[in-house]
Amino acid sequence: MVVTVLLSIYVESKELDRVTSSLKGLPEVVDLFEVTGDFDIVALVRTKNMREFRDFLKNKVLSVKGVRGTNSAVILYTHKREGKLLEE
């Protein structure tokens, strides 16, 4: 079962470029956005399962210098993507 997660990342301001560069190189990161609001970066992440996501978060994201914290939202169901309704 593929796991898709919206991963919000809080970054030390001076490390934003370093963190962004590190995340761009990770194959699990499908999309990557700098955003305004409570977090600095939002990544769309896909892994094979929850165990792989846990390892990705712990060993890859949280080990990047400048990452101060994260918030994960696992996508349960997609109703619409890129302007197109998905069949139920």
Domain boundaries along the sequence of the chain: 3-79
Interval 54-80: pLDDT, tens: 999 999 999 999 999 999 999 999 999
For domain 3-79, which CATH number applies: 3.40.50.2300, 2.40.70.10, 3.20.20.70, 3.30.70.920? 3.30.70.920
Q: d(Cα 8, Cα 41) in Å, to the nearest integer?
A: 6
70 CB burial (10 A radius; 0-12, 13-18, 19+): middle
Interval 12-48: pLDDT, tens: 999 999 999 999 999 999 999 999 999 999 999 999 9
Q: Do the Cβ atoms of 68 and 10 come closer than 8 Å?
A: yes
Q: Is residue 87 predicted with pLDDT exceeding 90?
A: no
